[in-house]
Chain A
Amino acid sequence: MSILTLLIICPLLTSVLLLLPKSDKGTKSIALIGSIIQIALTGYITFLYQAIRSAGDKSQMLFESNIVWFSTLHINFHTGVDGISLVMMLLTGFVVLAGVLVSWNIKNQVKEFFFFIMLLSTGAFGFFMSLDLFMLFFFLEIAVVPKYMLIGIWGSGKKENNAMKLALMLMAGSAMVFLGIVGIYFASGYFGPHNTWDILELSKIHLPAEIQRVIYVLTFVGFGVFTAMFPFHTWAPDGHSSAPTAASMFLAGISMKLGGYGCLRVATYLMPTAAKELSWIFIILASIAIVYGAFATLMQKDLKYMNAYSSVSHCGFVVLGIAMLTKTAFAGAVMQMVSHGLMTALFFAAIGMIYDRTHTRMSDQLGGMLKQLPFIGTAFIIAGLCSLGLPGFSGFVSEMTIFTGSWEKAGLFYRVATILACASIVITAVYILRAVGKAIWGTVTNKTYLMLTDATWSERAATILLVVGIVIIGVAPFLFIRLIEPDVQYIINRIIL
C-alpha cells in the first residue's frame, strides 16, 4: 500500500463524497477540494521522486507496491511510477483541476457531472501508475464509459450519435488491446518462467518474433485508436465537437494520452523485436495523420472541430516519436503528450468560455473577441501560439525534440517522414492564425457581443493554471528531460539489444 494508492483512492472517495451534499455549491466545492488534493499529491510525489532519485536510487520504478488480487490468474495490484508515468500523472492532475474549475458554472445534474469527471480521473491515475497489464486494462476501460455519459448527457449537437461512435470505437480499440495483453499473458507462460501480467517481469522475457508481431500490431493499433491515430481518429472530431468543455479537455488532454502511453509502455517496450520490424507501418500512418490532419483542419469553421483535427495532427507527432524508436524521439513523444495535453486543454477551455458567452463556435460568426473578452482572447492566442510551436511554450520543445530524434534515423524513408512532419508546422501556422484573425481579432460583428463579460474567477484560475504548466515546460525543458531521461533509457536499451 504505497502513497500512489492514495491517488486512486482520493478521486474515488471524492466521487462518492460529492454525492452527499444537497446543494450544488457543496458538490462543486468538494470536487474542487478533491482535485486540489490530487494535484497536491502528485506534486508531493514528484518531490519525493526527485529526492529519492537524487539520493541515487537507480531502480526502474519507485513507490512500488504489489498486492495479490486474483492469485489464480496471477493478477496483482501492482503500482509504481517512473519519470514517464509521473509526468503523465502531473498532466492529469493539472487537467482535472482545470476541468473542474472551468465547469464551475454548470447548471444541470451537477452531481453526476462531477461524479463522472472524478471517475475519469480515477481511471487516468490508475492507468498511469499500473505496472500490471490487467490493471492497466481495467483502468483504461474505466475511462471509456464516463466519456459516453458526459458527452451524451451534457453535450451539444449530434451528441447521441457522436457519443456512441466514440464509445464504440474506443471499445473496439480496447478490445484489440485486450486480445494483445491476453496474448502476452499466455505467451509469457510458454516462453517465460510462468504466466504473468507484470510489466516488469515481462520486460525481462523475450518472446519469439512471430508472436511479438501479432501482439505488437494489436496493442499498438488498439492504443492507437485511443490516441486518434489515422484512420481510427474519426471519433475525435465528433466527440470533441459535441462534448461539454471539461469533457473535451479530458478527451484531448488525458484520454488521448492514455493511448500514447500505452503504445510506448506496452506495445513498444514489451515487443521490441516486432517494434523494430514493424514500426514503419505506424510511421507511415503517423505522417499521414500529421499532414492530412493539418490539411483537414484548414477547412474547419467550427473552432472545436478545428482544435479536434489539430489534435489528430499533433497526436500524430506522438505516434511518430514512438514509432521512430530513438531515445530522443521517445523523450519528444512523452514531452509532446504532456505539452499537447495542457495546450489542447487550454484551447478547449478558451473555446468553451467563448461558446458559453456567444453560443456559437463558428469562427466567421465571432470576431473582435480580444476587444470584448481580453482575458479569454489572450488565452486563446496563447493556446494557438503554443500549438503552432512558438518557442517559450511547451509545443516548441516537444516538437523540436521529436524532429531531432526522428532525424537521427538515417535513411530516406525516415527523412521523408520527418520532413512531412516538419512541413506541418507551416500548415499549423496557417490555420491557427486564420482562427485568431477571424475569431479573436477583427471587429465585433454581432451587436449582442458588446455586453459580454470577461472570464470569471474560476475560469481565470483554470486558464492561469494551464498556462503556467505550458510555460514552465517551454522555458525550462531541462527539468522535464531530467525527469524522464533515465526511464526512456530503459525502454531504448530494450529496443537496442
Chain B
Amino acid sequence: MMINESLLLLRYEGIIVFMIFVLFVLNLTDFDKKPSRFLNVVNAMLFINFIAGFLPMPEGSAFQGFFRSSGIIALEKNVLNLGILLISLSGYNWVAKSRKAVEYYILLLSSLLGLFVMLSSGHILVLYLGLELSSLPMAALAALNTNSQKSSEAGVKYILSSAFSTGVTLFGISLLYGAVGDLSFQSISQHLQPNALSLMACIFMLSGFAFKVSVVPFHFWTADVYEGAPTSVSNFYAVISKGAGIFVLMTVLYSLFKNITEIWLYTISILAALSMTIGNLFALRQNNFKRFLAFSSIAQVGFVLVGITSASKVGIDSVIYFVIIYLLSNVVLFSVIEAISDKTGKEKISDLKGLYKTNPLFSIVMTIALFSLAGVPPTAGFFGKFFLLTSGMGAGSYILIGITAINLVLSLYNYLRIVKAFFIDKEEAEMPLVKGNWQTSLVLLACGCGILVLTFAGGLYHFIDTLNF
C-alpha cells in the first residue's frame, strides 16, 4: 500500500492533530488573550473540520491492518465532528470566562483524537492507546475548573475509576493474548474459542468499554462526574465519549466476538435490562438536572444495548441513527442548562418550574428534546427508539422485551416530570429571561430542526444502511 494513501486514510486524525498543533502555536503567541476572537477562530476550524469530513473517503486498512477505515467509521467520525462543533459553540460563554480556552480545546481535541483512533483501530494495542488517549484528557477536562471543589472531585473520581477499569480491561486483554496469541482484530475474530479463559478475558475486556459508556453496574462514576464537571465538559462526556464508546462497543462485539455471539448476546441482554431499569429508577428521584441527565443517559444506553442485541446490520443502522438523534437531543438539554446556570447559577429541576412563563423558547426547545429522548412522536427520538427496539426484538429474549416495555413507561414518566415543571408547576423563585448568545441560539436551532426533520429522513437511515461496516 502506498504511504500517501494510508495517510489519506488517516485524514480525520490528521486534521485533528493539525488543529492541536495550531492551538499550541496560538498558545505561544498571546492570540488567546482576546477570547472571543480566539473562540471564533477555533469554531471556524471545527466547522471546516466538520465539512471536510464529508469529502469522499477511501476504505481499507493501513499499517498491516492496525488502522482501518470504512464508510460506517467515516460516518461515525462525522457525527462526532458535528457533536464537537455543537458543544464548542454552546460552551462559548463559559470558555470565554474561564481563562483556560487553549487548554480546554487541546484536551477536547486530543480526547476526540483518541476516540477516532479507537474507532478505526484494527488491533487491540491501538484500541487500548485510543482508549487511554481519550480518557486521560477527559479526566483533566473534568477537573478543569480548578477553583471548584466539585470539579476536582469529579476529576479524581474519573481518573481513579478509569485507572481501575483500565487495569481490569488490560488484565482481560492479557488473558486474551494468552488464549489467542495475536491481538489483531481479524485473527482474534477467527481464533477466539469459547473456552473458560477467553470468555473470562472477554468479560474483563467488555467491562472496560461498559465503563466508558457507563453501563450498569459500571456506571457509578457517571452521575458524580456529570454533576461536578463543567457543563460543556459533561456535555462532551454524555454525547461524544458515550457515542464513540457505543460505536466502539458495537465494533468490538460485532467483529471481535463474532465467534461467541450468543454468549455476548446473553451478557449484553442482562446489562441492557439492568441499565434501563436502574437508570430510570435513579432518574426518578433526581433534582439536579445534570445528574438527571446522567441517569437518563444511562437508561438510554440500556435501550441502545437492546438494539445492539439484534446482532445484525439493521442493528448497526438503528444504533447509529439513534446515536445521532440522542446526540442532538442531549446537546440541546446541556446547552440550555449551561446557558441558564451560566446566567443564574441554577441547575436544579425545581428551579426550572414555570420556565415556560419566563423563557418560553428555551422551554419549548427543551420539551422537544425531552420528548425526543422519551421517544414521543412527532420527534425523531420516536423513530430512533422504535428502530432500536424493533431491531433488538429480532433476536432479543422476551424477558428483555418485557423489561424494555416497562422502562418505556418509566422513562416517559421521568421526562414528563421535567415538562410538567416547565409548563404546569408554578414557579417558586423568579427566573429572569435568559438571553443566550447567538452561538447557543444557533445550536438550539440546529438541533431542534434536526430533531424534527429527522422524522421524515427515511433517506438518512437508508444511506446508513448502504454503508458497509
Contacts and interface: CB of A to CB of B under 8 A. Distances in A.
Interface of A: 68-73, 75, 134, 137-139, 141-142, 144-145, 148-149, 152-153, 159-160, 164, 167-168, 171-172, 175-176, 178-179, 182-183, 185-186
Contacts of A179: 393, 401, 405
Question: Which 8 pairs from chain A and chain B are nearest by CB?
Answer: A175-B405, A152-B424, A72-B465, A70-B458, A142-B377, A69-B458, A141-B377, A171-B412
Given A70-B462, A137-B386, A185-B390, 19 more contacts: A71-B462, A72-B462, A73-B390, A138-B377, A138-B382, A139-B377, A141-B376, A142-B377, A149-B423, A153-B424, A167-B412, A167-B416, A168-B412, A171-B408, A171-B412, A175-B409, A179-B393, A179-B401, A179-B405
Contacts of B394: 186
Interface string B370-400: 0100001110001100110110011000000
B382 A164 contact: no
Contacts of A139: 377
Contact of B461 (A70, A152, A185, A186): A70
Contacts of B416: 145, 148, 164, 167
Contacts of B409: 168, 171-172, 175
5 contacts: A70-B383, A145-B371, A168-B409, A175-B405, A182-B390
A144 B461 CA distance: 26
B314 A164 contact: no
A153 to B, nearest CB: 6
A172 B378 CA distance: 18
Contact of B393 (A71, A142, A182): A182
Contacts, number: 78
Nearest to B357: A109
A149 B401 CA distance: 29
A145 B376 contact: yes
Interface of B: 314, 317, 371, 376-378, 382-383, 386-387, 389-390, 393-394, 401, 405-406, 408-409, 412-413, 416, 419-420, 423-424, 456, 458, 461-462, 465
Given A68-B458, A72-B462, A152 B376 contact: no
B393 A152 contact: no
Given A160-B420, A164-B416, A134 B408 contact: no
Contacts of B383: 70
A168 B393 contact: no
Contacts of A144: 376
A73 B393 contact: no
A452 to B, nearest CB: 30
B346 to A, nearest CB: 22
Give the interface centre of A68, A148, A175 by most chain B CB atoms within 10 Å. A175
Contacts of B389: 178, 182
Nearest to B391: A73
Contacts of A75: 458
A25 to B, nearest CB: 21
B408 A175 contact: yes
B405 A141 contact: no
A149 B423 CA distance: 8
A71 B459 CA distance: 8
Contacts of A182: 389-390, 393
Nearest to A197: B390
A66 to B, nearest CB: 13
Contacts of B393: 179, 182-183, 186
B24 to A, nearest CB: 44
Give the interface centre of B383, B405, B406, B419 by most chain A CB atoms within 10 Å. B405
A75 B382 CA distance: 14
A179 B462 CA distance: 24
Given A179-B405, A182-B389, A72 B382 contact: no
